[in-house]
Amino acid sequence: MGRLYGLLILAGSFATVGWLAYAYYTNTQETIKDLTVDNVRLEQALESSERTLDEMETNYSKLEETFEQTESDFQDSRNRVRNLEEKLSRHDLGSLAVNKPVLVERVIDKATRNINRCFEILSGAPRTPEELAATKPSEINAECPGIANPNYTE
């Protein structure tokens, strides 16, 4: 009878160890499956982050280019204002207007037409063939040559 109990205890021990091993194996397989799913999600998140980072770098490059162009345009505007101030300081417009009103009126009218044309172009109006073909100082819009006459170089 002692041997029978020993055999039953031994069989029970083997069954318990087998059941524990099976439970451990099943649990490990579920953990591996969960980790695989998590890994796929992490890889997708990483790819999405990389795409977003690429887009941000592209947008930043465009922003830098736009800023540099704006800064250049602003510097050009400052230079034009400075040149205009120098020109205006050389003349007594009040005296000139009294002595030669037709001349002053013609100059102011032409400058006003040119400025209005600059605003039209900036608002989306197409350039005329004459504006595009202008290459001589006498042909350009002196108020905004860079806008109205893109083919003109000083």
Q: Using one digit for the tens of pLDDT, what is the confidence trace for 87-133?
A: 777 777 778 888 888 988 898 899 999 999 999 998 899 999 999 99
The verdict on 9 and 33 lying in the same domain is: yes
The verdict on 84 and 98 lying in the same domain is: no
**For residue 51, what pLDDT is reported?**
95
N-terminal to C-terminal alpha carbon distance within the chain: 118
The verdict on 15 and 81 lying in the same domain is: yes
The pLDDT of residue 45 is above 90:
yes
Token look-up 């980072």 returns: 53
Its domain, for residue 135, covers 92-154
**For residue 112, what pLDDT is reported?**
92
The pLDDT of residue 148 is above 80:
yes
The verdict on 123 and 133 lying in the same domain is: yes
The verdict on 101 and 143 lying in the same domain is: yes
pTM above 0.85, yes or no: no
CB 122 within 8 A of CB 150: no
**For residue 21, what pLDDT is reported?**
87
The verdict on 22 and 79 lying in the same domain is: yes
83-87 long-range contacts, Cβ below 8 Å, gap at least 24? none
**For residue 68, what pLDDT is reported?**
94
The verdict on 12 and 84 lying in the same domain is: yes
Domain end, chosen from 44, 73, 90, is at 90
